[in-house]
Every structure is written in structure tokens, then in C-alpha cells.
Structure 1
Amino acid sequence: MTWTWAYESSAGDVIGRSEVFESRSDAESWVGEAFGDLLEDGVDQVRLFDGEAEVYGPMSLHPE
């Protein structure tokens, strides 16, 4: 299994993808640490993928 994040605008347009992670735990830990940098880079929300299968999302990076 390979885990990646799709980076999206608030409109849902894909604007990038993360590096590949070996586990879901690694991917989720990474996004928890990197969300501030992602926001600064213009990413509004993310989706988690296991290979080509979407696991969940969109998940907003903005505070509620």
C-alpha cells in the first residue's frame, strides 16, 4: 500500500500531491505537522489516498 495526500483549492481543484508514505499513520502524522506550511502554499483542503482509492476527504486545513 502507498499513501498520499491530494492538495486541493477550496473549489476542489487538485493543485498538487504529497510524497508517498508507507503507512496511513505516517501520512496522517505528516499532515498534522505540515498543515501550516500547506496553508501558506495555498492549499485549502486535502484528501487521503491509498494507492488510487480515496480513503477520506476533503479535509479542510483552515480552523473552524
Structure 2
Amino acid sequence: MVWTWRYEKADGTLVTPAGGQEEFPGQGDAESWIGESWKQLVEDGVDNAVLLDDDRVIYSMSLHEG
């Protein structure tokens, strides 16, 4: 299993952040990373992050506070 994040604009358009695509060995690692990196992702134009386990969507979340 490979855990990744897919990054999107509010309209669903895919965004490739400056750092590229990260891969994680587990869900906890992916969630820890997004917790540390979400502000930079927002600066890179990301509105939503979708957690993927291989190609299976686990959940989607907004990166905007509120």
C-alpha cells in the first residue's frame, strides 16, 4: 500500500504543489505530514486534499480554516 495526497482547487482542478508528490508508508504518516504542510500547500494554491490508499479515496478535506 502506498498512501498519497491528491491536491485540488475548490473547483476540483488538480494542483501539483512545488514540492511534488509525497508517498507515505501509512495513513498516520500521511496525516502527520499534511498537518505540518497544509499552510504551504494553501500558499501553493491548494484548496482541498484527498487522502488516497493506492487509488482508493479515503477522505477529502478543505485546507482552509473555518
**What range describes the TM-score normalised by the shorter chain of this pair?**
over 0.9
Which structure 1 residue ranges, 4+ long, deviate > 2 Å from structure 2? none
**Structure in which a larger fraction of residues adopt strand:** 1
Pairs aligned (count): 63
Q: List alignment gaps of at least 5 residues for structure 2.
A: none
Correspondence 1:47 to 2:28:
no
Query: How high is the sequence identity, in percent, across the aligned residues?
Result: 46
Letter in 2 for 1:12: G
Give the alignment's TM-score, normalised by structure 1.
0.92
What RMSD, in angstroms, separates the aligned Cα atoms of the two structures?
1.1
TM-score by length of 2: 0.90
- Greater alpha carbon shift after TM alignment, 47-56 vs 15-24: 15-24
